[in-house]
Amino acid sequence: MARVSTYLNFDGQAEEAFAFYAKVFGTEPTMISRFSEMPPGGPGEIPEGDRDEVMHAELPIAGGHLLMATDMLSSMGQQTRIGNNTTLCVDVDSRDEADHVYGMLAEGGSEGSPMADMPWGSYWGVILDRYGIRWMVNHTPST
C-alpha cells in the first residue's frame, strides 16, 4: 500500500519522544524495535552501549499519518543535526516505482544511500534532494 510518513532521527531520545507524542495524540506505538534485534547481515556489530537504542519505531497520529523514528548512532558515524533529523518516507507499490521516484529525487541531489535490498526485507534508499529535503523511498514486497 502506498503511503507517505514522517521519519524522525534522534540522538538516543526516540523512545522518550514517542512516549511524549503518544500522550499528545492519545495513541500507542505500533512498533518499537531495537538495534539488538537486527537480523544477521545488518549494519555490522553494534556496540553494547547502543544495542538497546531504537532502530525503528512507529506511532499513528492525526488523520492516519504515521510517525516513524530511529536513534542515530555516533558509533556508526551518524550525527543528528538540522537537515537530517526529519525525513519524508514514501512507501511505494513496486521496485520499479521505487527506482523511478528515487531517480527523480536524486537529480541534482546529494548525500544519499542508493536503492538496495535491506536485511529487514525492504528495498530502500535515502536521498537529499536539490532543495535540501531528505527523502526515504521504500518498497516492501507482499508476503
Average pLDDT, the chain: 86
- Angle, CA of 90, 93 and 94, to the nearest 5°: 105
pLDDT in tens, 25-50: 899 999 899 988 876 555 567 778 87
**What's this model's pTM, rounded to 2 decimal places?**
0.69
Single-letter amino acid, residue 143? T
Cell of residue 67, nine digits: 510517525
- CA–CA separation, 112 vs 102, rounded Å? 10
Mean pLDDT for 45-66 is: 85
Q: What dotted CATH number matches 3-139?
A: 3.10.180.10
User: Could you tell me which residue, 12 or 85, shows the higher pLDDT?
Assistant: 12
pLDDT class of 126 with cuts at 50, 70, 90: very high
